């Protein structure tokens, strides 16, 4: 197979580039993954040893796809293809002693990090209702991702809440060290610190990875930028692919200026632009182009397609969020009748809270759907408990996991006992596991030691059975005998299919490797392309995906663009890039919807249409506003209000669909006040509101 077959002129130029820096500006749907994988194959075919190739992307899914594509076109491939975090983990794993870690260090997840912060706040006598653990966690992440020294952090974090965050940060780092643990941010920070402090180690990796490829370069942050710059400074064979117009992760400290400054960092760089889109119709692409051109900081990528003009973008303005869902469901019905499958359709929104009314609409019509990013499998209590047992078996110094399960199932080791153990461990500067000394604590310690021994002689799936049995986790849940307990048992059994698949795919039964692997799984990987369901997801989660028909719901000022962006420097520009990403997920049909009034987060607001709708060229968009007004007025009149007021009498029994039966306690020409069950209390309605009916009983 000729790896250049099927590539356009610009793609070929990129694939055939061998030595020196190269910047590929790749518009949405322009085949950047193909370019990256074929370039790796081309390097190997030109005699570059595959072990000297490093390819970094942002998701496990993209890395897996790239590995599969490369393996299809070359005989032997030992290139490292993975995420920044998996690459950082490899470096830490290979140099753990230099970083002051033991071989069996633990990677703590986001929830465990928050738990540690809560405990530190309590120890420092700060009320975590006043000092949000989320805010502090964000600041700790900022310090690590920006690679701030203690003196720099003290210079940047000056407000009273930030000063508290700084104190917590210092204690947080001590806890990680005592636990022989690292967090996700450390997977990036520690390798860079190692490169800066140890020239021999840096030289070793520079010699090992002479050819470096980076996907989604516009999404790199400071620590990622420094990692790559250090690795590439010797041979300068750095090949980066990105699109500033798809930089949407500013809240994670990504810096789109890294791609703008690439040619300053590497003046000798070759620059190639991929303009041809292989996903969408020209109407959709022109809509995206007409929006993004309003950003001041960009590299021009005018997308075009050979897939035809397609149909116009359909814009629907509704009366409220429920009417918006009605309009969307009507359009979905038409799509299904015209041959679309459920999996061809996605509804994108700016905030997770918008999914609730959409889910209600799906349930009423019995449409199968999936909310991507909803309660994630690995975050479920029973799964986290099992994982904590496994982590503790792997690393006895993991205090976070120990505290989670020492009394799960209940063993009579309460909060006070755990606090005493914490204090004793801190005093002796050791792990809690080492200071377990009372009979019940010794019993738990012996259980973990027994499970640790068992882990050496069985495979991962057998180990899960042993842990569930001997810990009492399974028996405790089974005692409950409820539908929820059945689901929890199913989740634990599902975990065994994860270990089974891991063993089949990797051939390894090593517990440490398995724990590392699942700690790097991203939430969006929960999105299964094979399920024939309608997909509901945020615009951020949709990046990298594509659907035949896409609905952009809630396109209003203060929602999209988000209200917070109006107060931030460059906020609107990032929201506009997010809009560009959302538009370019659509292959054939794009719908934009909004509402005149919307209940969100418990408040009703009247928002004007999103400015981004006005930026789409009028000839690309189908607006039937006169008809829309007529439809809305009919909708309002029929569904909500009658022409005449209803003369309710004091003491009369009425019925409301959501609140049930109630008693009229006050009424006049305009309003009726009704007392419902104590759960809902007293409510006041317009007298002609049709959602309230006299009850026959």
List the one residue out of 425, 190, 503 whose CA is nearest residue 417: 425
Is 611 annotated in the active site?
Answer: no
Quote the DSSP letter at residue 480.
T
Tokens of 526: 């929960």
Instruction: Give the strands of the sheet with 345-349, arranged side by side.
Output: 369-371, 534-538, 345-349, 547-552, 586-595, 313-318, 621-623
Strand 181-182 to 106-107 pairing: parallel
* Cβ contact 385:473 at 8 Å: yes
Catalytic residue among 32, 226, 350, 587: 32
Cβ atoms of residues 441 and 421 within 8 Å: yes
Q: Which of 10, 109, 215, 517 is catalytic?
A: 215
Coil, helix or strand at residue 147: coil
Cα distance between residue 546 and residue 582, in whole Å: 10
Q: Which of 57, 224, 246, 646 is catalytic?
A: 246
- Integer Cα distance of 245 and 126 in angstroms: 42
Give the separation between CA 82 and CA 459, rounded to whole angstroms: 26
Catalytic residue, from 585, 587, 589, 611: name it.
585
Catalytic residue among 216, 512, 517, 575: 216
517 is catalytic: no
Q: What does DSSP say about strands 547-552 and 304-305: parallel, antiparallel, or unpaired?
A: unpaired
Catalytic residue (one of 16, 33, 380, 430): 33
215 is catalytic: yes
Return the closest-CA partner of residue 375 out of 271, 244, 526.
526
| φ, ψ of residue 655 in degrees (nearest 5) | -130, 135
The answer to whether residue 281 is catalytic is no
Element (H, E) at 470: helix 460-471
CA distance 295 to 576: 7
Closest CA relative to residue 613, chosen from 315, 351, 292 = 315
Secondary structure of 239-283 as H, E, C letters: EEEECHHHCCCHHHCECCHHHHCHHHHCCCCEEEEECEECCCCHH
Please give the Cα distance from 23 to 16 (Å, whole number). Answer: 13
**CA pair distance 268, 685, nearest whole angstrom:** 71
Tokens 């790199």 correspond to 220
* Residue 283 annotated among the catalytic residues of the structure: no
Nearest to 543 by CA among 29, 82, 50, 191: 29
Asked if 276 is an active-site residue, the reply is no
Catalytic residues: 32-33, 215-216, 246, 585
């Amino acid at each position: 197979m000729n790896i250049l077959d099927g590539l356009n002129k610009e793609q070929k130029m990129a694939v055939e580039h061998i030595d020196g820096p190269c910047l590929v500006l790749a518009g949405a749907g322009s085949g950047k993954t193909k370019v990256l994988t074929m370039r790796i194959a081309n390097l190997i075919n030109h005699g570059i040893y595959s072990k000297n190739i490093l390819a970094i992307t942002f998701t496990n899914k993209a890395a897996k796809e790239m590995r599969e594509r490369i393996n299809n076109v070359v005989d032997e491939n030992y290139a490292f293809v993975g995420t920044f975090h998996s690459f950082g983990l490899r470096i830490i794993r290979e140099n753990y002693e230099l970083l002051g870690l033991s071989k069996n260090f633990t990677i703590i997840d986001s929830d465990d990090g928050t738990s540690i912060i809560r405990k530190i706040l309590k120890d420092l006598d700060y009320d975590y209702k006043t000092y949000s653990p989320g805010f502090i966690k964000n600041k700790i992440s900022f310090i690590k991702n920006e690679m701030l020294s203690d003196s720099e952090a003290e210079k940047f974090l000056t407000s009273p809440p930030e000063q508290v965050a700084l104190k917590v940060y210092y204690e947080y780092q001590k806890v990680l060290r005592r636990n022989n643990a690292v967090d996700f941010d450390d997977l990036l920070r520690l390798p860079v610190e190692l490169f800066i402090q140890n020239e021999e180690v840096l030289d070793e990796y520079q010699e090992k990875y002479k050819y470096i490829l980076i996907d989604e370069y516009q999404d790199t942050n400071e620590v990622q930028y420094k990692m790559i710059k250090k690795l590439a400074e010797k041979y300068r064979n750095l090949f980066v692919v990105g699109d500033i117009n798809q930089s949407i992760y500013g809240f994670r400290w990504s810096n789109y200026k890294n791609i703008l400054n690439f040619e300053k960092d590497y003046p000798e760089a070759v620059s190639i632009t991929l303009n041809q889109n292989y996903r969408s119709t020209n109407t959709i692409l022109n809509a995206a182009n007409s929006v993004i051109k309003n950003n001041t900081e960009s590299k021009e990528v005018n997308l075009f397609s050979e897939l035809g003009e397609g149909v116009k973008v359909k814009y629907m303005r509704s009366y409220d969020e429920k009417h918006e869902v009605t309009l969307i469901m009507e359009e979905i019905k038409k799509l299904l009748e015209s041959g679309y499958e459920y999996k061809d359709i996605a509804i994108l929104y700016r905030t997770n809270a918008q999914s609730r009314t959409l889910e209600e609409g799906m349930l009423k019509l019995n449409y199968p759907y999936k909310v991507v990013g909803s309660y994630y499998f690995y975050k479920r209590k029973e799964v986290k408990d099992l994982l904590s047992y496994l982590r503790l078996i792997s690393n006895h110094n993991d205090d976070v996991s120990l505290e989670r399960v020492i009394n799960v199932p209940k063993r009579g080791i309460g909060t006070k006992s755990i606090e005493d153990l914490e204090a004793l461990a801190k005093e002796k500067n050791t792990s809690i596991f080492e200071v377990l000394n009372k009979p019940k604590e010794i019993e738990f310690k012996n259980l973990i030691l027994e499970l640790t021994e068992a882990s050496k002689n069985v495979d991962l799936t057998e180990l899960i059975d042993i842990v569930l049995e001997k810990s009492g986790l399974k028996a405790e849940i089974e005692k409950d005998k409820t539908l929820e307990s059945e689901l929890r048992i199913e989740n634990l059994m599902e975990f065994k299919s994860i270990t089974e698949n891991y063993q089949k795919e990797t051939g390894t039964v090593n517990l440490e490797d398995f724990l590392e692997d699942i700690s790097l799984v991203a939430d969006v990987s929960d999105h299964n392309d094979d399920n024939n369901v309608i997909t509901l997801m945020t615009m951020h989660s949709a990046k990298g995906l594509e659907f035949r028909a896409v609905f952009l719901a809630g396109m209003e000022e203060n929602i999209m663009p988000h209200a917070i962006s109006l107060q931030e420097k460059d906020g609107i520009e990032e929201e506009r890039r997010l809009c560009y990403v959302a538009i370019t997920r659509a292959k054939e049909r794009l719908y934009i919807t909004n509402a005149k009034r919307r209940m969100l987060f418990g408040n009703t607001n009247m928002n004007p249409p999103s400015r981004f709708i006005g930026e789409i060229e009028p000839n690309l968009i189908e607006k039937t506003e006169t008809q829309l007004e007529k439809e809305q007025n009919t909708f309002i009149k029929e569904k909500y209000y009658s022409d005449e007021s209803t003369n309710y009498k004091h003491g009369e029994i009425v019925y409301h669909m959501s609140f049930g039966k109630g008693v009229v306690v006050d009424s006049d020409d305009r309003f009726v006040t009704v007392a419902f069950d104590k759960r809902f209390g007293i409510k006041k309605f317009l007298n002609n509101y049709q959602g309230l009916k006299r009850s026959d009983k």
